[in-house]
Amino acid sequence: MSEDPPTPTEVVYPLTPAHDVSRETEPVAPPADPWGVEDPLDTPIARAAETAMRVRSGRAGAFTVPPATRVLTVANQKGGVGKTTTTVNLAAALALHGLRVLVIDLDPQGNASTALGVAHHAGTPSVYEVLVEGLPLSRVVQPAEGIEGLFAAPATIDLAGAEIELVSLVARESRLQRALETYLAGQPAGQRIDYVFIDCPPSLGLLTVNAFVAAREVLIPIQCEYYALEGLSQLLATVNLIRDHLNPELDISGVVLTMYDARTNLSVEVANEVRRHLADAVFATIVPRSVRLAEAPSHGKPIALYRPDSKGAEAYEALAHELRARRDAAAAAATAVAATAAAGAAA
């Protein structure tokens, strides 16, 4: 009766001439790994561990500084789609690559402030004082905990009443824009902010309008669930109105699919439907539904610090690369078009 095949722990490589020095023959290479892994250290776990160590030691490769500060509003009037999660973790991913990033928390719930570990209790100087009382933005900005180059302007519960108080103020739609421009202009040489992310409340009120007027780009998270496209047409119509009357430079940077669960047909169908309607506006990177992403804010950390080896951290790392590459490609295309036009005019 034949013996049972050896288990993985019982496999023994046969002795080869390379190991048997008593033989006077040419050495040969040891046999390939019987389990088909050429490099036993190149595994998903090993790669994740390497990523975690690199992030925690601040050795993530540096990104090229953009030619001008990019100001992005993260907006969707539908709640629970991942606006704050996307704002916080995308900002952290960029900061870990050596860029200087500011997050402006414009949601009275203050979730972005919590996730970045900055103080936002009652009485803390916040975005409310900037919008309603004219306090300089530099007086409220705080460094985020654990990531060099990441800053936040917190929101407090006072911001909940700002919608009503802004109604009677002069230039109510552009108060954030003026405060942000003054803040950016006052940055010391060599310490310019490279990216600004504005986290919006789940509405299309005056707070969100202020964010649209202050920004140059809109990033729209859409969850991979039923009703994902509900209200999107209204959001796009609002963006068009802002572009026509208040901010002609406003552009939609892209749509991010969030809370994707590959195990369900619904997520796959919604993702396909969104791509069918919005085509190239949708980022290739999809953010998965993740327990780790949900846990990170309770620790006052972005996912890159809480669990850098998680799927959520990998997704936002990839999204940071894609966001940067998209704008670089657009800028290169615009430069090429301008050069072609100039050459044609000279001819």
Please give the chain's pLDDT, 347 residues, in tens.
555 554 444 443 344 444 344 333 444 444 444 334 444 445 544 544 455 455 544 445 789 999 999 999 999 999 999 999 999 999 999 999 999 999 999 999 999 999 999 999 988 999 999 999 999 999 999 999 899 999 999 999 999 999 899 999 988 999 999 999 999 999 988 899 999 999 999 999 999 999 999 999 999 999 998 888 888 888 999 999 999 999 999 999 999 999 999 899 999 999 999 999 888 999 999 999 999 999 999 999 999 999 999 999 999 999 999 999 987 555 544 444 344 445 545 55
Query: Within a 10 A sphere around the Cβ of 285, how many other Cβ atoms?
Result: 18
Q: For residue 277, is it within any domain? A: yes
CA distances from 149 to 24, 183, 191, 209 (A): 63, 16, 9, 27
Q: Rg (Cα) of the chain, in Å, rounded?
A: 25
Please give the structure tokens belonging to residue 206.
């005056």
pLDDT of residue 53: 53
| Span between the terminal Cα atoms of the chain, in Å | 90
Q: For residue 16, is it within any domain? A: no
Angle separating helix axes 311-346 and 44-56, nearest 10 degrees: 70
The rounded Cα 332 to chain-centroid distance in angstroms is: 22
Name the nearest CA neighbour of 134 among 72, 192, 182, 205. Answer: 182
Please give the structure tokens belonging to residue 281.
């506006």
Alpha helices in the chain (DSSP H): 44-56, 83-95, 111-115, 127-128, 162-166, 175-185, 206-214, 232-245, 265-278, 291-295, 303-306, 311-346
Distance between CA atoms of residues 180 and 170, nearest Å? 17
Q: For residue 175, is it within any domain? A: yes
pLDDT of residue 229: 80
- Burial bucket for residue 11 (CB in 10 Å: 0-12, 13-18, 19+): exposed
Residue 131 belongs to what domain range?
66-333
Q: Which residues pair with 257 in a beta bridge?
A: 222, 286
How would you classify residue 107: left for phi > 0, otherwise alpha for psi between -120 and 50, otherwise beta?
Answer: beta
Distance between CA atoms of residues 299 and 143, nearest Å? 17
Helices (H) and strands (E) in the chain, counts: 12, 8
Q: For residue 302, is it within any domain? A: yes
Which amino acid would we find at residue 17? P
Q: For residue 155, is it within any domain? A: yes
DSSP state, residue 255:
E
Domain at 206, CATH number: 3.40.50.300
Distance between CA atoms of residues 177 and 40, nearest Å? 54
The answer to whether the CB of 200 falls within 8 A of the CB of 166 is no
Distance between CA atoms of residues 206 and 178, nearest Å? 15
pLDDT of residue 316: 97
Q: For residue 211, is it within any domain? A: yes
Please give the structure tokens belonging to residue 185.
């202009």
Distance between CA atoms of residues 267 and 272, nearest Å? 9
Q: For residue 22, is it within any domain? A: no
Residues 6+ apart with CB under 8 A from 235: 75, 76, 77, 204, 220
pLDDT of residue 347: 52
Distance between CA atoms of residues 74 and 258, nearest Å? 13
Distance between CA atoms of residues 130 and 155, nearest Å? 10
Looking up tokens 């969850």 gives 223
Q: For residue 242, is it within any domain? A: yes
* Total domains, the chain: 1
